[in-house]
Amino acid sequence: MAKTDLGKKWETIFRTAWKRQFPNTFIFRLADQMNGFKETSSNPCDFICFALSNLFLVECKEHKGASIPFTAIPQYERLLAYKDIENVFPGVIIWFSEKDTIIWVGIKEMEKMVKNGEKSIGLRMVKDKSYNIIEVGGEKKRVFIEPNCLDLVKNLKED
């Protein structure tokens, strides 16, 4: 399966999990603009989700290895615009496909990483708790892990 296939499939799995776990809320997929250039969309994220009186701006990323460079997350700058709005949670949910791990990194936490000179988001940061990164539980089904969106939202609201 090509990288783009895994990334698109990951978006579908996230959307399906959200709808199943939050049946009476909404999730809206922002369509990618097709202007012929990779990574040129002006959208701030992949999904706008609403649950438990909160709005979530979710960018889905799939990545191999144990760290993803910030250059692979061009939505970072656009998501910063929403970081200080009450009850709005902008961030990136990353599936490290070779490591069977899903994490959530809020945009404020990414901003701290950038200010600290970090060049990537690594699983080591989850283990050493150097940043407030949420490891998202889930159920592995063959290749993909279905994220536990309920636990993610609960953890975000507790921060």
**Which residue in 94, 107, 98 sits closest to 135, CA to CA?**
94
Q: In this structure, are residues 28 and 11 in contact, taking their beta carbons and an 8 Å threshold?
A: no
Which CATH number applies to 3-158: 3.40.190.10, 3.30.1360.30, 3.40.50.300, 3.40.1350.10? 3.40.1350.10
Angle between helices 3-21 and 149-158 (to 10 degrees): 80
**Model pLDDT for residues 20-48, shown as the tens digit of each residue:** 999 989 999 998 766 545 555 689 999 99
Quick one: pLDDT band at residue 19, thresholds 50, 70, 90? very high
Q: What was the pLDDT predicted at 40?
A: 59
**Model pLDDT for residues 60-91, shown as the tens digit of each residue:** 999 999 999 999 999 999 999 999 999 999 99
**Model pLDDT for residues 92-144, shown as the tens digit of each residue:** 999 999 999 999 999 999 999 999 999 999 999 999 999 999 999 888 877 77
Q: What was the pLDDT predicted at 2?
A: 47
The radius of gyration of the chain from alpha carbons, rounded to an integer in Å, stands at: 15
Q: How far is CA 128 from CA 11, 102, 155, in A?
A: 28, 16, 18
